[in-house]
Amino acid sequence: MARSRRLAAGALASAGARMLAPAGARVLARRRARRAGADPRPGRWQVVTVAAPPEQVLPAGRWPEPLRRLDGAVEVWARPAPGGRGTELAVRPLGGECALPGFAAHLVGDDPGRFLRQVLRQTKQLLETGEVLLADRSPLDRPGAAP
């Protein structure tokens, strides 16, 4: 429980970013209970470390883009990363493992873990580099481009 208290203490106190100590504790409790070989759960927290201080990642508690578009579908927590590595930013579907209702399910898709990791990566890219790095467009996406 000492660790979950630390998580709570490290969490940024702000209304916009829902940093929930009880949620952190639930994660840890679940990890202890998990049997070897058990499937990863779709509702687990997805986490990235952003190389920027918390006040830049969540200015005035506001979620960064494109994470902000998922408001209402996910919950978020953040804390300073150890060793000056920036900010740990975590997200999971609202309601944990429960199936998501209606619009939330539409936003998150049928592989919430993979989808949320992608959103976190884009959020991190935007914060660290100022842009989301786009792939080359394939010829099929460029009907006007002469080959």
Partner 1 sequence: MRALCWAGAGLVEVRRVPDPELRNAQDMIVRVRRSTTCGADLPLLAGRVPEASAGEVLGREFLGDVVEVGPEVRRHRVADRVVVGAAVACGACWFCRQAMPACCDNGTGGVAAEPQWGQPPAGGYGRPARLGGFAGGHAEYVRVPYADVGAFAVPESVSDERAVFAAGAAPAGWYGAELGEVAPGDVVAVWGAGAVGQLTADAAVARGADRVVVVDDRDDRLRMVTGHDGVEALNHRYVDVLAELRERSGGRGPDVCVDASGVTAAGPGRWPAVEPDGGAALREAVHACRKGGVVVVLDARPGFVDRFPLGAFADKGLAVRAARRRGGAAIPALLERMARDELVTEHLATHRMPLERGAEGYALFRDRADGCVRVVFTP
**C-beta closer to partner 1: residue 18 or 117:** 117
Work out whether 117 is an interface residue with partner 1 (CB under 8 A). yes
Please choose, out of 1-9, 27-35, 55-63, 115-123, the segment that lies near partner 1 by the rule CB under 8 A.
115-123
Residues of this chain, 5-64, that bind partner 1 according to CB under 8 A:
49, 51
Q: List, in sequence order, the alpha helices (H) in the chain.
A: 2-10, 21-33, 54-57, 102-108, 112-129
Q: Are 57 and 64 in contact (CB under 8 A)?
A: yes
With a CB cutoff of 8 Å and minimum separation 6, the contacts of 23 are: 45, 75, 77, 96
- Report, in Å, the least distance between residue 8 CB and partner 1: 25
User: In whole angstroms, what is the distance from residue 77 CA to residue 8 CA?
Assistant: 10
User: In whole angstroms, what is the distance from residue 97 CA to residue 30 CA?
Assistant: 12
Please choose, out of 1-9, 29-37, 70-78, 114-122, the segment that lies near partner 1 by the rule CB under 8 A.
114-122
Residue 142 has which token pair?
A: 């460029």
**C-beta closer to partner 1: residue 1 or 138:** 138
**C-beta closer to partner 1: residue 12 or 51:** 51
| Residue ranges in contact with partner 1 by CB under 8 A | 49, 51, 85-86, 114, 117-118, 121, 124-125, 128-131, 133-139, 142, 145-147
